[in-house]
Amino acid sequence: MFVILTSKPGQYRTQANADIHLIEAWDYHFCGRLLAHFAVGELLRETKVQVIEEGPGGTTNRVPSKFLERFDSLEQARQALQHLCQFGALDATLTAAPLTAPTAA
């Protein structure tokens, strides 16, 4: 099973752990601004994913992986990202980005 972890700069970041093998990452730009960072990974076992709010007073939540949308293949996850990021003729791009290392479980 494959999952997509989403982070939004200035709002929150989602961190994988050793139970999610990250494969690739993508940055979503809209009108030249980075709006989201997506990491695609293979879910090795059920786990909890950290979602960390950024800024003063930000909290950390541990979300069970059962709440993440799942894809049977890497290609299906890629297609879902393409679908999320297409808005007709608007200036929206999805570009490959560097992976960040997972944290301990």
In this predicted structure, the answer to whether residue 30 has a pLDDT above a threshold of 70 is yes
pLDDT at 73 over 80: yes
pTM: 0.88
Look at residue 105 in the predicted model and tell me its pLDDT: 47
3-state class (DSSP) for residue 70: coil
In which band, very low, low, confident or very high, does the pLDDT at 54 lie, cut at 50, 70 and 90?
very high
Tell me the CA distances in angstroms from 13 to 10, 16, 95, one per residue in order.
9, 10, 18
Cβ pair 62, 55 in contact under 8 A: no
Whole-angstrom Cα distance, residue 58 to residue 1? 30
